[in-house]
């Protein structure tokens, strides 16, 4: 970043380059055109013009190394690494390189509530949005969850923008300042981009850098890395394991209590959270504190939780056969997510499907939890051999290679009262288009099994 993007600071933006033409890139193009800015666009892959206006100049992707003349601003999509030669050239030329969320931020007429973390971002974002709506406010749920912030500019003032933020997006902010923001957790992920956990965490902590004392930073008291976040904002903590001085915590009886100025107020009960997994209790606590930051009352928080349907592929119960439950946690794409997913199951009852494409994570961090919770593991995809080495003799496993073989074998060996869980701890791109595709295939396989058992 060479300087802030601020359209109110004077000077006219004449020409911009948008790098990456996925959802966020195309939303950025539309916003820039609406502001009368000439737009050039480029993508590393071959893309169709699609819905792009004819006035947009499509540049050849992949080999473009120098910034075209006349460009005043570069907007980069989350999937584009910031060390691309074109972006390095832009920075050498003093041209700001920003994310689509940064482009949109100056145009927002309402408070921003932001959510980041290694795991649980989408669920927490969706929960927060439902709580805000239950509190009588208008919520725009957007960001990394699938709806670009730049596409939400038009609308009445006073809307609450509930924005899921990936580390890739946060890398490209300069003036973006949320009224409230949550850092849910930090575990090994995207190390193929960042190199180590410290750099990955630093990218996420940037979100809190420019927050002020009147803002609210919601941090996980049970995660030491999130607690190291430096910010001037009010620090409100959530904990599943014990009391906090400012924030909320879960009691042994399952009550979640807010602590504010020494006064305790009941927020909700763990039984109000209709989703499986201890991680979803944590997500609900974080969402509740974010909703409280914009004035939502506890009654509305409880009502929103009780009616919350959850998101696909996040420890989603697919069905049962012969007393065996099947869960789709295809979104569990790193070891931290998988550990949270299986933590709430009874010891020795899980038939766990692991594997895919590792993102340079240390898979051995999973071994103690898998040894405790799993009766057997089924290893698929590129990382199968890595998992075999990591698990050793801690738990019986088989090299299933493909998801269909893993599901069939797990279903044959699972006993009543046990669960077959797809929580791969890896990306899906070795055998599937994305985690949604992997989860859809798993659900289809399970439905076929259940249908066959009733046939």
CATH number (domain holding residue 367): 3.90.190.20
Establish if 195 belongs to a structural domain: yes
Q: Are residues 219 and 257 in the same domain?
A: yes
Question: Which of 60, 94, 56 lies closest to 74, judged by CA?
Answer: 94
Q: Using alpha carbons, list the distances in angstroms from residue 403 to 373, 428, 431, 453.
A: 21, 11, 9, 19
**What are the CA-CA distances from residue 37 to residues 31, 153, 268 (Å)?**
9, 16, 48
The three-state secondary structure class of 17 is strand
Q: Is 7 within the bounds of a domain?
A: no
Global confidence as pTM: 0.89
pLDDT truncated to tens, each residue of the chain (455 aa)?
A: 334 456 555 557 899 999 999 999 999 999 999 999 999 999 988 787 888 998 999 998 766 889 999 999 999 998 888 889 999 999 999 999 999 999 999 999 999 999 999 999 999 999 999 999 999 999 999 999 989 999 999 999 999 999 999 999 999 999 999 999 999 999 877 777 778 889 999 999 999 999 999 999 999 999 999 999 999 999 999 999 999 999 999 999 999 999 999 999 999 999 999 998 999 999 999 999 999 999 999 999 999 999 999 989 999 999 999 999 999 999 999 999 999 999 999 999 999 999 999 988 999 999 999 999 999 999 999 999 999 999 999 999 999 999 999 999 999 999 999 999 999 999 999 999 999 999 999 999 999 999 865 43
Say yes or no: 188 and 276 in one domain: yes
Domain check: are 262 and 118 in the same one?
yes
89 and 149 assigned to the same domain:
no
Catalytic residue among 144, 185, 280, 334: 144
Domain assignment present for 112: yes
Strand, helix or coil for residue 188: coil
User: Where in the sequence is the domain holding 47, given as residue range(s)?
Assistant: 13-95
Q: Are residues 203 and 334 in the same domain?
A: no
Position 146 in a domain: yes
In the chain, what's the furthest Cα-to-Cα distance? 71
Task: Answer yes or no: are the C-beta atoms of 234 and 217 closer than 8 Å.
Answer: yes
Instruction: Mark whether 121 is an active-site residue.
Output: yes
- Single out the catalytic residue among 133, 152, 179, 190: 190
CB of 130 within 8 A of CB of 167? no
Domain-embedded: residue 6: no
Q: How many domains does the chain have?
A: 3
- Of 274, 306, 338, which marks where a domain is finished? 306
Q: Catalytic: 359? A: no
Residue 8: inside a domain: no
Residue 265 lies in a domain: yes
Active site residue 340: no
* C-alpha dist (Å) from residue 415 to 179, 228, 244, 445: 49, 44, 41, 18
Q: Is the dihedral of CA 157, 160, 166, 167 positive or negative?
A: positive
Residues 91 and 107 in one domain: no
Do both 78 and 116 map to the same domain? no
Which has the closest alpha carbon to 450: 338, 317, 265?
317
Catalytic member of 119, 121, 152, 313: 121
Short-list 80, 425, 43, 120, CA closest to 281: 120
Residue where a domain stops, chosen among 306, 324, 345: 306
Do residue 207 and residue 328 come from a single domain?
no
Q: Is residue 247 part of a domain?
A: yes
E strand intervals along 335-447: 350-355, 374-380, 397-401, 419-422
Whether residues 251 and 119 fall in one domain? yes
Among candidate residues 43, 76, 95, the one where a domain is terminated: 95
Degrees to nearest 5, angle at CA 164 with 51 and 106? 70
């Amino acid at each position: 970043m060479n300087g802030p993007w601020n359209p109110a600071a004077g000077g006219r933006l004449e020409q911009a380059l948008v790098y990456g033409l996925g959802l966020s890139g195309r939303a950025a193009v539309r916003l820039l055109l609406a502001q009368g800015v000439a737009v050039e666009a480029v993508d590393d892959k071959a893309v169709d013009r699609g819905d792009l206006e004819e006035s947009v100049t499509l540049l050849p992707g992949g080999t473009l190394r120098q910034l075209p003349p006349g460009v005043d601003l570069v907007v980069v999509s989350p999937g584009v690494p910031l060390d691309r030669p074109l972006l390095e050239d832009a920075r050498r030329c003093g041209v700001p390189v920003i994310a689509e969320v940064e482009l949109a931020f100056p145009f927002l007429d309402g408070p921003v509530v932001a959510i980041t973390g290694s795991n649980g971002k989408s669920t927490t974002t969706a929960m927060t949005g439902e709580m805000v709506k239950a509190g009588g406010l208008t919520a725009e749920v957007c960001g990394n969850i699938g709806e670009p912030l730049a596409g939400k500019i038009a609308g009445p003032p006073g809307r609450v923008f509930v924005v899921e933020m990936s580390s890739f997006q946060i890398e490209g902010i300069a003036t973006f300042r949320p009224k409230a923001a949550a850092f849910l957790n930090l575990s090994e992920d995207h190390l193929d981009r960042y190199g180590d956990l410290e750099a990955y965490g630093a990218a996420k902590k940037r979100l809190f850098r420019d927050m002020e004392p009147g803002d609210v930073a919601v941090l996980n008291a049970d995660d030491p890395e999130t607690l190291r976040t430096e910010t001037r904002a009010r620090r409100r903590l959530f904990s599943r394991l014990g009391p906090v001085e400012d924030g909320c915590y879960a009691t042994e009886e399952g009550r979640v209590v807010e602590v504010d100025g020494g006064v305790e107020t009941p927020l909700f009960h763990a039984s109000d959270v209709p989703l499986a997994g201890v991680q979803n209790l944590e997500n609900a606590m974080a969402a509740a504190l974010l909703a409280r930051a914009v004035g939502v009352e506890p009654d509305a928080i409880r009502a929103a939780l009780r009616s919350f349907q959850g998101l696909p592929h996040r420890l989603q119960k697919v069905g049962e056969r012969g007393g065996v439950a099947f869960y789709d946690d295809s979104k569990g794409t790193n070891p931290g997510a998988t550990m949270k997913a299986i933590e709430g199951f009874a010891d020795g009852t899980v038939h766990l499907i692991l594997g895919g494409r590792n993102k340079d994570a240390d898979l051995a961090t999973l071994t103690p939890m898998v040894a405790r919770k799993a009766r057997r593991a089924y290893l698929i995809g590129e990382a199968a051999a890595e998992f075999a080495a990591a698990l050793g003799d801690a738990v019986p496993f088989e090299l299933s290679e493909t998801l269909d073989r893993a599901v069939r074998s797990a279903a044959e060996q699972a006993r009543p009262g046990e669960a077959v869980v797809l929580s791969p701890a890896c990306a899906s791109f070795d055998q599937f288009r994305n985690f949604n595709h992997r989860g859809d295939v798993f659900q289809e396989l399970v439905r076929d099994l259940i249908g066959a058992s009733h046939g």
